[in-house]
Amino acid sequence: MNVLLVHPQINVIQSYSRGLGYIASVLKEGGHTVDYIMIEDLNYTAKLSQVIKNHKPEIIGFSLYSCQMNYIGPIIEDIKKYSDAFIVLGGIHPTVKPECILQISGADAIVRGEGEIALLELADTLQKKEDIRHIKNFWFKSGKEIIKNEMRPLIDLNGLPFPDKDIVDYQLLLDQSGGVNRFTFNRGCPFDCPYCSNKVLRDVYKKEISYCRSLNPKRAIEEIASDAAKFKFEKIFFDDDIITLDKKWFYEFFTLYKKYFKYPFYCNVRVGTIDANMVRLLKEAGAKGVAIGIEHGNEEFRKNILRRNITDKQIIDTLKLFEEHGIKDNYGQVMIGLPFENKELFLDTVRLCRLVNISYFKYIFYPYPATEFGELCEKNNWLPTQEYYMERKQAVIDYPDFKKADIQLCYDLFTGLVKFKFFPLKLPWIPTGLLLKFYNFLLKMVIPVESLLRRSLGRIKKYFICLIFKNGKITG
Ligand code: B12
Ligand code: SF4
């Protein structure tokens, strides 16, 4: 069968999808033909219809994050005008919100959870012209009815081929991302953070005790080696939610990595899951930096609302541990605009971040469907006020105590407020809102002047060094 995999990435940073890569490998191994197309903006129509007319797919599979749902209705309606391919929606959104099958009128089915074997079975069964309605993981539209099939057991990751990177111009993707190659070798996370989809994913597979699984370390090393032989890249980012969770895996994997590779790398670490020995191994293996989830700077808020039982001291000590071992290019992830947050609480995030010397990935909170916060926001009508927006970068929720405009202001100011520590964060006679607006004005003036000064000083320094070298006064 001819299968077309569609990856809508509108208003998000473009990246390779390992999920679609695995699906493509398994379909190809099963004798099917696979094409892939990425939709990066709303001018997709001509490109998409060209691909569909050329390749004549019999199945078209969409991989969907929640933030892409508003875009795909018209795309699919358009396809229906000139193709009678069977249209399947898969990925995280249909997994956690399968009812979305009703929202997209042109969709024939959705797949919940892992799609490799489910889609292969669909292609095989359609090819044989047999009844597809029993295939596990699928929800099918059948007239006005929805057929809701049960889930199949979780896949043995070690039995899978490597994700197919030939479906895209992978080298171009690597070059565009500054030579960063990304890998994820583990699936699942055992924590229950109310804003994250991991608990929902676990619940989808509730009968499976082994939801959190890892690719065998040797196999993971083989995948990196296979990429190293095919592509040119400078460094690696391990996207696993928490690479330090399974200690046995961690030691085995990084001992092998140290032996075989020289690529500097970054990974995600959860405070409380790492000790000095592990940090030492990361350093020896070539870690340049780690990303840790700070999420919020108010300890009570972090514990009680975000259910992250991690103290400020633990965060500071963990980062110190990395510094002491020479892992210095570290990142903290922070969220702004959470339910029950306000401007005062936001300033606690700035306060905590001022105490540590790291860079930041800052995000505006987005209520992912079926998560605890997603449902809370739905119940309280705290949902995005715009149809199209840059998820995590644009404020779209208006809470009674934290207005959309203020969330955006806090997001825009965050880096400046952390960097310029001399700005006081509490001036008793200025209410927080006014203070933030004043700083917004100051930062717009100060940041450009500061970086201009730094660049000019750098140039002057270089000029003098050149002059001295030329005159032979310094001989190295
Ligand atoms: C690694 C990762 C990334 C990486 C790589 C992403 C990628 N495209 O592969 C990076 C850092 C780039 C990233 C970015 C983003 N991510 Co991310 N990411 C993850 C993480 C930690 C693991 C995903 C993964 O690789 N899983 C393993 C692979 C093999 O599984 P998979 O991709 O889910 O695919 C399987 C199934 O979903 C299904 N499937 C997928 N597509 C299809 C299609 C069809 C037709 C079928 C039948 C089946 C199917 O079969 C696949 C194979 O089993 C998850 C958390 C999690 N535990 O899932 C978050 C997660 C998926 N990310 C999330 C988000 C929001 C994003 C961003 C949109 C954030 C942003 N605004 O920029 C971007 C979008 C990136 C993009 N352009 O696609 C959310 C999604 C929530 C939601 N409801 O939408 C998650 C769940 C984290 C969370 N906060 O809860 N991410
Ligand atoms: S620890 Fe991280 S990956 Fe795990 S549930 Fe919490 S936010 Fe999600």
Residue of 48, 50, 55, 54 lying closest to 34 (CA atoms): 55
Read off the DSSP letter of residue 68.
Answer: G
Predicted confidence (pLDDT) per residue in 216-251, tens digit: 999 999 999 999 999 999 999 999 988 999 999 999
Residues 289 and 372 in one domain: yes
Give the nearest ligand 1 atom to 88 CA.
45
Any domain includes 156: no
Quick one: pLDDT band at residue 37, thresholds 50, 70, 90? very high
Give the nearest ligand 2 atom to 195 CA.
7
> Structure tokens of 124?
């095989």
Judged by its nearest atom, the ligand closest to the C-alpha of residue 242 is 2
Taking the centre of ligand 1 as the mean of its atom positions, its distance from the CA of residue 18, in whole angstroms, is 8
For the chain, what percent of residues have pLDDT higher than 70? 97
Q: What is the CATH number of the domain that holds 17?
A: 3.40.50.280
Residues 380 and 457 in one domain: no
Quick one: pLDDT band at residue 470, thresholds 50, 70, 90? low
The answer on pLDDT for 371 being more than 80 is yes
Any domain includes 109: yes
Judged by its nearest atom, the ligand closest to the C-alpha of residue 90 is 1
Taking the centre of ligand 2 as the mean of its atom positions, its distance from the CA of residue 213, in whole angstroms, is 15
**Best probe residue, ligand 2, of 191, 245, 368 (max atoms within 8 Å of C-beta):** 191
Single-letter residue type at 283: K
Any domain includes 372: yes
Total domains, the chain? 3
Residues 445 and 420 in one domain: no
The mean pLDDT value of the chain amounts to 93
Q: 147 CB less than 6 Å from ligand 2?
A: no
- Number of Cβ within a 10 Å radius of residue 248: 9
Taking the centre of ligand 1 as the mean of its atom positions, its distance from the CA of residue 63, in whole angstroms, is 9
Quick one: pLDDT band at residue 475, thresholds 50, 70, 90? very low
The pLDDT score that the predictor gives to residue 436 is 96
* Cβ pair 395, 407 in contact under 8 A: yes
What do you get for the CA distance between the two ends of the chain, in Å?
67
The answer on pLDDT for 467 being more than 80 is no
Give the nearest ligand 2 atom to 199 CA.
5
The pLDDT score that the predictor gives to residue 143 is 85
> Structure tokens of 103?
């929202």
Residues 197 and 111 in one domain: no
SS3 470: helix
Residues 288 and 420 in one domain: yes
Distance CA 24, CA 33 (A): 9
Q: What is the CATH number of the domain that holds 397?
A: 3.20.20.70
Residues 434 and 421 in one domain: no
Residues 134 and 262 in one domain: no
| pTM assigned to the model | 0.94
Distance CA 429, CA 439 (A): 15
Distance CA 131, CA 196 (A): 37
Q: Which helix (H) or strand (E) holds 418?
A: helix 404-419
Q: 196 CB less than 6 Å from ligand 2?
A: yes
Least confident of 26-35, 136-145, 259-268: 136-145
For the chain, what percent of residues have pLDDT higher than 90? 84
Task: Report the pLDDT averaged over residues 116-127.
Answer: 98
Predicted confidence (pLDDT) per residue in 314-330, tens digit: 999 999 999 999 999 99
Quick one: pLDDT band at residue 443, thresholds 50, 70, 90? confident
Quick one: pLDDT band at residue 469, thresholds 50, 70, 90? low
Any domain includes 162: no
Give the residue numbers spanning the domain of 306.
169-425
Residues 127 and 176 in one domain: no
Q: 88 CB less than 6 Å from ligand 1?
A: yes
Residues 80 and 211 in one domain: no
Judged by its nearest atom, the ligand closest to the C-alpha of residue 92 is 1
Taking the centre of ligand 1 as the mean of its atom positions, its distance from the CA of residue 303, in whole angstroms, is 26
Give the nearest ligand 2 atom to 197 CA.
8
Residues 401 and 435 in one domain: no
Judged by its nearest atom, the ligand closest to the C-alpha of residue 295 is 2
